[in-house]
Amino acid sequence: MRYICTSIVATLVLAASAVADTHTVFANDTSFAPDAIDVAPGDTIIWQYNSGYPHTVTSGVACTADGLFHGELQNGGDTFTWEVPLGASGDIPYFCEPHCPMGMDGVITVADPVCELTMTDVEGPYWIPGSPERSNLREPDDGPLLVLNISVVDQDCAPVPEAWIDIWHADADGNYDKNGWGYRGHHFADITGNSLLETVIPGFYPGRTTHIHVKVQGVSLNVLTTQLYFPDVPQNDDDFFYHPDLEVTVIDEDTDGNMQAEFTFIIDDPACQADLDQSGDVNVNDILAVIAAFNSPDPSGDATLDGWVDVNDILAVINAWGPCP
């Protein structure tokens, strides 16, 4: 099997959190067409010579280059390609150097990245709290083997460092360990939100397709409970809980069925949800807000975002005490 570094996978995953588009802009005599385009991080823009004297595509404002990009379109068919950086946002102006005084300029508007939350799935009957901390769940002579590159990001597509990831699934014969810790364990992502799970590809539990149960939690009290599935498994079509959005992406698979795959969990993880008064610090004022709204659905005291204010909200404030990250 071929293996790739988790850090590389993370970069690719963030770029692919939404499907990248390609935009074409034509350089005419003294204008770009269209002269204004809306793009997303990771998109590709292709400028193509169409007519007139030689052109440039130069980033900057008021005919002054800022060094972000520069390309030349000298003859018919020439193109210049630029990929929108993942961290780009807002308006990016550009111009044609020879024809800028004639008004030949344009603007690229980069939308803020938005990641759609990973859908939940049923917990099932066999979750056991307190699993051992380990990311390698394999037993001797296991197979077929699975290496799963995991990334955890929040709704703003930002990595969630040290996210808690709890895994449990059936063995290769489709049986769950109901009395011990076979094929069960939790681990933590690294500071970039990435981790590596080493396990076996589960067998078919009666009435189900191949699946892996997962819980994921960041710094907030929100816990994502879901399942992962595998592509091109015939039993997927008959599984009530299966959803294609929860399929892993297969990177490599050998003739023995050993697989390397990846999946990005996008979780609802507000950076400082216990800062109820949005002061930038979690402090006594937030405790007072919880007390004022206690035993009610008042959102002003709901630090756990569960729709009800109770002792869990007091604990959430205490656990987050101090300056917001």
Please list the pLDDT of the chain residue by residue as tens digits (325 residues).
433 333 334 444 444 445 679 999 999 999 999 999 999 888 999 999 999 999 999 999 999 999 999 999 999 889 999 999 977 889 999 999 999 999 999 999 998 777 889 999 999 999 999 999 999 999 988 989 999 999 999 988 889 999 999 999 999 999 999 999 999 999 999 999 999 999 999 999 999 999 999 999 987 778 899 999 999 999 999 999 999 999 999 999 999 999 999 999 999 877 688 888 888 899 999 999 999 999 998 888 888 877 899 998 899 899 889 998 7
Calculate the CA 165 to chain-centre distance.
15
- Predicted pLDDT of residue 157: 83
Full-model pTM: 0.64
Based on the fold, state whether residues 97 and 165 are members of the same structural domain: no
Based on the fold, state whether residues 197 and 291 are members of the same structural domain: no
Based on the fold, state whether residues 149 and 261 are members of the same structural domain: yes
- Predicted pLDDT of residue 15: 40
Q: Is residue 258 assigned to a domain?
A: yes
Residue 202, CB-side half-sphere exposure with 13 Å CA sphere? 26
- Distance between CA atoms of residues 202 and 172, nearest Å: 5
* Of residues 153, 148, 158, the one with CA closest to residue 87: 158
- Predicted pLDDT of residue 19: 62
- Distance between CA atoms of residues 269 and 224, nearest Å: 10
- Distance between CA atoms of residues 232 and 247, nearest Å: 10
- Predicted pLDDT of residue 69: 97
Which residue, of 62, 84, 110, is where some domain finishes? 110
The residue range of the domain holding 180 is 145-267
Q: Is residue 196 assigned to a domain?
A: yes
- Please, are residues 165 and 186 in contact by the beta-carbon 8 Å criterion? yes
Based on the fold, state whether residues 80 and 167 are members of the same structural domain: no
Based on the fold, state whether residues 301 and 248 are members of the same structural domain: no
Based on the fold, state whether residues 98 and 151 are members of the same structural domain: no
| Contacts of 140 by beta carbon, 8 Å cutoff, 6+ apart | none
- Predicted pLDDT of residue 3: 37
Domain count, the chain: 3
- Please, are residues 167 and 197 in contact by the beta-carbon 8 Å criterion? yes
Which residue, of 110, 133, 161, is where some domain finishes? 110
- Distance between CA atoms of residues 119 and 224, nearest Å: 8
Q: In what order do the strands lie in the sheet with 249-253?
A: 194-200, 145-154, 259-267, 249-253
